[in-house]
Chain A
């Protein structure tokens, strides 16, 4: 290009300075940007389509029957999902009870105590990252082989919530670690300099500051557990159940599995029923996610 300019100058005999012209945005730049934008738009359009579809399909069936009636395989107009909704509440409550303390304590160890140069801490680290990506059905196999049959806990709320808490534990740990990491180092140093012990520093300074972030991450992890169906298929979740759980020893079913069950029925009434139950499930998840976002915005600390 440079030599071009020189040649031109030589040909006309006039010295011509190279000029920096604005050329506007070339077509391929615009096309590239448009296709990037479109690839985002596909996801959004799909999401809107999916939500509209389940609401429209489920609308005729979306009334109090869903939560006040029990499953009915003969008469779909009379069927509801009460045992599944109550089952979901039982299972998730115990999942939270098992996985939140464990996950938060583990994240405190990894962030505040563990020396990342020690090989065992690196093993724990890689192990958690891998567990976060192990297929959920493999956790189902773990629950089936070890918890349900190995330990003899059977097809109960207890087995289901233990399995789900192992499944979401990595998510809880990763989220709580991020919350702890967001607390500035100067807070720790100031507390230690005033003579506080390490645990006093953690308990009185770091945890209060990190709790909103931990709560947000934990709620998001639990909402993943609420939507999970695959591992529970292996743990007896698909059993036809027309009563609510009464304890951790009760057999159970949960909302996603009840939905799966209704999808598998060929009659059209059950498709509408499945859509209505999906709307209920999505509303529960939406409520939890809104709570998480509200917590994040309302309590998040600016350092």
Chain B
């Protein structure tokens, strides 16, 4: 059949194409609805909570005992517990993660990389409940045995939880930081070498500053991970709210409190149930700020070099 004069006519309308697009958009909107769902889950119950307790008491109070009578709703002990563990984790993860990133990006041979990169991925893939178990039953007893001066760490303590959490977030910090170092163009390195720089000088004075926004993004994302981590602290840092800056003591974090209250299966509408949402809202806002800063910084280095 030879093509007639109508051969180049517009084909019949394809409704299927349009229907498929609608389906795809709907799937993409699920992620938006998730965020909306989180906000809807958090805000009304948190508002109910603040009507009863008062935002001032919540944010400045130093005593957190919501299930005692009389109850106290000062969230500061949970916040300091969270910050304490996060700080310890960062002291471990930032130098080790950045060191690993510089090594992988600037020094490692292909074969060395092929060995270490999967190792870091395995480290990232271990369930956090396993890290918590290890902190409680291996790291803490070890610390208690070798503790040189003063009182040894308590059975539940911020130090071993924070240390193990630091190891856990090394891959997060290292992989994002390495990405940003890899994005630094080789022209910069070549230029520096041509001027007689050593490898260390190129790494620390050329690549590191050039990749700085990505490195900061990696650290900020690490902070966000540490703040939001639940199982390690629930297992190894204890369940007692404790306004203390001594890492050898047990302390409860915001996440560990939410988990503990959630296990309790509190009745809907009770003040105890609402504390989950108030603390959850605070946690969500803190990590949201961190995440947005991190996303922003990553975008910045992508714009410059890619």
Contact = CB atoms under 8 A, between A and B. Distances in A.
A138 B284 contact: yes
Given A46-B167, A123-B32, A259-B133, A36 B128 contact: no
Contacts of B126: 47, 50, 227, 282, 285
B224 to A, nearest CB: 5
B28 interface: yes
B123 A223 contact: no
B291 A140 contact: no
Interface string B213-232: 00000000100110111110
A233 B262 contact: yes
Given A113-B21, A169-B30, A130 B295 contact: yes
Contacts of B276: 141, 144, 234
Contacts of A169: 30-31, 34
Interface in A117-147: 123-124, 126-131, 133-142, 144-146
A224 B119 CA distance: 16
A229 interface: yes
B284 A134 contact: yes
Contact of B200 (A33, A238, A257): A33
Contacts of B227: 135
Interface stretch (B39-47, B144-152, B181-189): B39-47
A140 B262 contact: yes
Interface residues of chain B: helix, strand, loop or mixed (majority): helix
A238 B263 contact: yes
A21 to B, nearest CB: 12
Given A108-B24, A123-B32, A224 B138 contact: no
A53 B138 contact: yes
B271 interface: no
Given A35-B99, A142-B41, A145-B45, A26 B283 contact: no
Interface in A229-279: 229-230, 233-236, 238, 256-257, 259-260, 263-264, 271, 274-275, 278
A219 to B, nearest CB: 11
B250 interface: no
Contacts of B204: 32
A229 B28 CA distance: 26
Interface residues of B, number: 89
B1 interface: no
Interface string B129-140: 111111011100
Contacts of A133: 221, 224-225, 228, 287, 290-291, 294
A50 B100 contact: no
B129 A256 contact: yes
Tell which of A44, A50, A101 has the most Cβ of chain B within 10 Å.
A50
Given A46-B167, A142-B37, A233 B259 contact: yes
A178 interface: no
A33 B107 contact: yes
A39 B26 CA distance: 45
Given A106-B30, A134-B38, A197-B14, A43 B170 contact: yes
Interface string B17-33: 10011011111111110
A28 B288 CA distance: 41
A102 interface: yes
Given A43-B100, A124-B32, A134-B284, A230 B119 contact: no
Interface in B144-179: 167, 170-171
B17 A173 contact: no
Nearest to A237: B263
25 contacts: A40-B99, A43-B123, A43-B170, A47-B122, A106-B28, A110-B28, A133-B290, A134-B288, A135-B229, A135-B230, A135-B283, A135-B287, A137-B228, A137-B280, A138-B284, A140-B258, A145-B45, A197-B17, A224-B125, A230-B234, A234-B263, A263-B129, A271-B137, A278-B129, A285-B125
Interface of A: 26, 28-29, 32-33, 35-40, 42-44, 46-47, 49-50, 53-54, 57, 101-106, 108-110, 113-114, 123-124, 126-131, 133-142, 144-146, 149-150, 166, 169-170, 173, 197-199, 220, 223-224, 226-230, 233-236, 238, 256-257, 259-260, 263-264, 271, 274-275, 278, 281-282, 285, 289, 293
Sort A-B residue pairs by CB-CB distance and give the 9 closest, nearest first: A135-B228, A227-B127, A39-B99, A234-B262, A105-B27, A145-B41, A109-B24, A230-B230, A36-B103
Interface of B: 14, 16-17, 20-21, 23-32, 34-35, 37-38, 40-42, 45, 95-100, 102-104, 107, 116, 118-120, 122-123, 125-134, 136-138, 167, 170-171, 198-200, 203-204, 221, 224-225, 227-231, 234-235, 255, 258-259, 262-263, 265, 268, 276-277, 280, 283-284, 287-288, 290-292, 294-295
Given A126-B295, A166-B37, A230-B255, 8 more contacts: A38-B99, A39-B95, A50-B138, A102-B30, A138-B280, A140-B262, A223-B125, A230-B231
